[in-house]
Amino acid sequence: MSLTIDELAMPDALDGPGGHAFAEYAALCNDVESHTLGTDLLVMGPQEMLSEYVSTPTRVRRHLVARDGAALIGRAMITTRPLTPEAGAHLMVDVLPIHRRRGVGTALLAAAEAAATDVGAPVLKVAVAHSVRDGGERVEPPTGFGDLPADDPGVRFLQAHGYALEQVSRISLLAADRLRAGRSPEAPDLEDDYGLLAWAGPTPDEWVDQLAALRTRMSTDAPSAGMVAVVDPWDGDRVREHDDRIASSGRTVLTTVARHASSGVLAGFTEIVVSAGDAVAVQEDTLVVSDHRGRRLGMRLKRANADQLVAAFPAVEAVVTWNAEENRPMLDVNEQLGFREVGREAGWQKHVHRDVAARNG
Ligand SMILES: CC(C)(COP(=O)(O)OP(=O)(O)OC[C@H]1O[C@@H](n2cnc3c(N)ncnc32)[C@H](O)[C@@H]1OP(=O)(O)O)[C@@H](O)C(=O)NCCC(=O)NCCS
């Protein structure tokens, strides 16, 4: 094997210089994840992947490609957050199944770790899909919620490289037919002091600042188990940048918010992202601010947003969601809606030795 590892130059557009190499990179990411999960339900188109994999003012993403001769056989991604360096770096390594157990993953991980510690990351994190097979030896996070097969290649690899399993999340799917069958009656949902508002596409001006505040809360309110979690601050500009990037990749964000009538404050939100032509829509964040919990706002928000989805996107066949296994309140809502597990994702973490952080930081 003649292995080379190089940085991928990100293209401005898929049909411009570097676009073909990025499409090849996107296909490798999809192939590896589909192989792990045993389904191609989560495949992302290259256009939407490009819009997620570019750097933004709050998130720097670098990409490495491993080639055997001219053939692309693996990749790594390094994500750092310049405004919150204490959050550390997220790393991801994928190697095509037929090229595994020859040291390619180890070489990519070493290069990715060096890129992260070079910019002083104090902790290295991984969020990766794992297979769902039952039985056999299992590994559990310290929370005791959820487990993974010990012989999953990613599990073995991360353990061999000193990463600790901190959190297991469930990836689950709901057929849109069930949403259509259970559509809410037209009667307004206003038996108390909360009103629901829904929109498709960019956030209306009047809600931008409050949505930024809700997203900031989301960064620490969602359960993070033993993963290092720091406040990830959002402001109006970041909400606009996020909205514009999603819209320009051919995706639509469907948002429903709960407004507390007496105070005018937004008490919660939920959002689904739909890619033009895709059969599977993605459930993104859902948050009810702690003061407003216990009033079934989580379920009401999700039901209303699902109604919006099936009305506006009749071709969508299913919705996929990710939930931490210890997040019982959110799993309760999703199980009642009919979501069923299709895969697992886990959060892994390795603290960088102080000497390395001090030398490079
Ligand atoms: C995990 C992954 C990147 C490993 O790639 P790779 O090129 O096979 O990695 P290496 O050859 O460098 O393997 C290094 C070590 O990991 C462990 N390992 C990897 N796959 C293993 C398997 N199937 N069974 C047992 N151990 C395994 C072993 O300790 C191995 O060393 P060894 O071959 O000397 O026993 C690859 O399996 C993959 O892409 N999986 C899907 C994505 C993923 O889980 N990424 C990891 C998170 S970043």
How far is it, in rounded angstroms, from Cα 233 to Cα 230?
Answer: 9
Write down the pLDDT at residue 187.
Answer: 44
Q: What is the mean pLDDT of residues 90-101?
A: 98
Residue among 243, 265, 264 nearest 199 (CA): 243
Looking at per-residue confidence, does 360 or 103 come out higher? 103
| Ligand 1 pocket mutation, candidates 25, 64, 101, 165, criterion most atoms within 8 A of CB | 101
Mean pLDDT of all residues belonging to the chain: 93
Domain ranges for the chain: 3-169+346-360, 174-345
| pLDDT value at 16 more than 60 | yes
Pocket (CB within 6 angstroms of ligand 1):
32, 36, 92-95, 100-106, 126, 128, 153-154, 156-158, 160
Q: By the 8 A CB rule, do 282 and 265 touch? A: no
**pLDDT tens string 219-255:** 988 899 999 999 999 999 999 999 999 999 999 999 9
How far is it, in rounded angstroms, from Cα 172 to Cα 323?
Answer: 8
How far is it, in rounded angstroms, from Cα 263 to Cα 261?
Answer: 6
CA of 154 to the centre of ligand 1 (A): 6
CA–chain centroid gap for 155, Å, is 19
Residue among 206, 182, 213 nearest 302 (CA): 182
Write down the pLDDT at residue 258.
Answer: 97
| Percent of the chain surpassing pLDDT 90 | 84
For the stretch 180-190, what's the b/e string if a residue is b when 16 or more beta carbons lie within 10 angstroms of its beta carbon?
Answer: eeeeeeeeebe
**pLDDT tens string 163-177:** 999 999 999 999 988
Class of domain 174-345: alpha beta
**pLDDT tens string 309-352:** 999 999 999 999 999 999 998 899 889 889 999 999 999 999 99
CB atoms within 10 A of CB 204: 11
How far is it, in rounded angstroms, from Cα 249 to Cα 245?
Answer: 6
CA of 157 to the centre of ligand 1 (A): 4
Q: Give, using CA atoms, the residue closest to atom 20 of ligand 1.
A: 153
At 1, which amino acid appears? Answer: M
How far is it, in rounded angstroms, from Cα 7 to Cα 74?
Answer: 12
Greatest distance between any 2 Cα atoms in the chain: 68
CA of 153 to the centre of ligand 1 (A): 5
| Ligand 1 pocket mutation, candidates 1, 37, 157, 350, criterion most atoms within 8 A of CB | 157
Write down the pLDDT at residue 194.
Answer: 93
Q: Give, using CA atoms, the residue closest to atom 24 of ligand 1.
A: 153
Q: By the 8 A CB rule, do 72 and 57 touch? A: no
Shortest-distance atom of ligand 1 to CA 157: 16
Q: pLDDT band at residue 183, thresholds of 50, 70 and 90?
A: low
Q: pLDDT band at residue 218, thresholds of 50, 70 and 90?
A: very high
Region 3-169+346-360: CATH code: 3.40.630.30
**pLDDT tens string 251-297:** 999 999 999 999 999 999 999 999 988 899 999 999 999 999 988 89
Shortest-distance atom of ligand 1 to CA 102: 11
Q: Would 3-169+346-360 and 174-345 be classified into the same CATH topology?
A: yes
